[in-house]
Amino acid sequence: MAMSDEAMFAPPQGITIEAVNGMLAERLAQKHGKASLLRAFIPLPPPFSPVQLIELHVLKKQLLLPLP
């Protein structure tokens, strides 16, 4: 019987998500040190920031202009 996504990723009964996060943080700190622990909780940047998207849009328009 297949489990739903919610059931698959939910913490076991009686354990809070904070406790799970604490256990993961402890394991990361033991295995890789504090620097890796910090990296684990720093969000990754999106593939394109809004500024990069604007630059791409402007560049695309400049490339479509006819050459003199």
The pLDDT, as a whole number, for residue 25 is 76
Furthest C-alpha separation in the chain: 71
Half-sphere exposure of 42 (CA within 13 A, CB side): 7
Asked if 29 and 37 touch (Cβ cutoff 8 Å), the reply is yes
Average of per-residue pLDDT values in the chain: 67
Whether the pLDDT of residue 49 is over 50: the answer is: yes
The pLDDT, as a whole number, for residue 17 is 76
For the chain, what percent of residues have pLDDT higher than 70? 34
Q: What is the pTM of this model?
A: 0.33
The pLDDT, as a whole number, for residue 14 is 78
Average pLDDT over residues 48-62: 69
Distance (Å, whole) CA 22 – CA 19: 5
